[in-house]
Amino acid sequence: MSVAEPHVDIGRLIARTAEIKGGCPRIAGTGVTVKRIAGWHRMGMEPEQIAAQYGHLTLAQVHAALSYYYANREKIDADLDDEAAEYDHLFEQSKQPGQA
Q: Which residue has the higher pLDDT, 22 or 2?
A: 22
Tell whether 3 is covered by a domain.
no
Domain coverage including residue 44: 10-95
Tell whether 59 is covered by a domain.
yes
Domains identified in the chain, total number: 1
Tell whether 1 is covered by a domain.
no
Q: Given its phi and psi angles, is residue 29 left (phi above 0), alpha (psi -120 to 50 degrees) or beta? A: left
Write the pLDDT tens digit of every residue in 31-51. Answer: 999 999 999 999 999 999 999
In the beta sheet, which residues pair with residue 20? 17
Domain holding 89: CATH number?
1.10.10.10
CA-based R_g, the chain, Å = 17
Write the pLDDT tens digit of every residue in 44-77. Answer: 999 999 999 988 999 999 999 999 999 999 999 9
- Confidence label for 93 from pLDDT (cuts 50, 70 and 90): confident
Tell whether 100 is covered by a domain.
no
> In degrees rounded to 5, what are phi and psi of residue 17?
-135, 135
Tell whether 4 is covered by a domain.
no
